[in-house]
């Protein structure tokens, strides 16, 4: 007896959801472990970035990674400048978020704007010790590290899955 179509599609969807969760958990765990081992001060940003960019397909992960990288780079620069010259002003902070979001859209990275705004907020609104340029660079490097790990996990997962899946069942 053949299972109903709904049961089959539900089973496939559940399996794909579990695989997505596994890839994401592996990338986040690996990012957290490596940043801890390397004594990166804000390594949690690498784990957060790995979670944010991981998608169900390698190509989608690459696209999300580009958006995250561009948004973080522009947000780090805007956050650095804002913290240096307009730190006490919430109006200047809000303007910096606006500029980053508009710039990301103008550069055709629409999904990067929100991420850039978050980076501005992290650099400007959270109290830090040390020079602002160092905080901006560290955020960018930690986020980039998480992105690289997520891309590596997605790529390796895809290669392993191709080897384990018989050619006849690939679509």
Provide block-wise average pLDDT over 10 residues at a time, the chain (171 residues): 60 82 96 95 92 88 92 95 84 95 94 94 89 92 95 93 74 52
* Residue 103 three-state SS: helix
What local confidence, expressed as pLDDT, does residue 74 receive?
97
**135 CB-side CA count, 13 A:** 22
What local confidence, expressed as pLDDT, does residue 17 receive?
86
Start-to-end CA span in the chain (Å): 24
What local confidence, expressed as pLDDT, does residue 28 receive?
96
Please report whether residue 95 resides in a domain: yes
Please say whether the beta carbons of 108 and 74 come within 8 A.
Answer: no
Please report whether residue 58 resides in a domain: yes
Tell me which residue of 122, 110, 106, 108 sits closest to 49, measured CA to CA.
122
Write out the two tokens for 138: 């560290």
Question: How many domains does the chain fold into?
Answer: 1
Please report whether residue 6 resides in a domain: no
* H-only helix segments in 1-111: 5-37, 44-53, 58-85, 90-106
What local confidence, expressed as pLDDT, does residue 110 receive?
81
Please report whether residue 1 resides in a domain: no
Please report whether residue 48 resides in a domain: yes
Could you tell me the residue range of the domain that residue 35 belongs to?
22-165
Q: Residue 128: exposed, middle, or buried by beta-carbon count in 10 A (0-12, 13-18, 19+)?
A: middle
Please report whether residue 109 resides in a domain: yes
Please report whether residue 11 resides in a domain: no
């Amino acid at each position: 007896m053949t299972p109903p179509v709904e049961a089959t599609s539900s089973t496939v969807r559940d399996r794909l959801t579990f695989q997505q969760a596994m890839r994401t958990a592996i990338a986040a765990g690996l990012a957290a472990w490596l940043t801890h081992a390397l004594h990166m001060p804000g390594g949690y940003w690498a784990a957060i970035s790995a979670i944010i960019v991981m998608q169900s397909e390698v190509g989608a992960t690459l696209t999300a990674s580009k958006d995250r990288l561009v948004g973080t780079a522009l947000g780090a620069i805007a956050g650095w400048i804002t913290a240096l010259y307009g730190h006490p002003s919430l109006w200047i902070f809000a303007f910096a978020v606006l500029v980053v979001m508009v710039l990301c859209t103008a550069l055709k990275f629409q999904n990067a704007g929100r991420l850039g705004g978050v980076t501005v907020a992290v650099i400007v609104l959270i109290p830090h010790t040390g020079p602002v340029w160092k905080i901006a660079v560290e955020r960018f490097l930690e986020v980039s590290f998480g992105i690289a790990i997520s891309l590596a996990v997605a790529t390796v997962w895809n290669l392993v899955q191709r080897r384990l899946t018989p050619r006849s069942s690939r679509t």
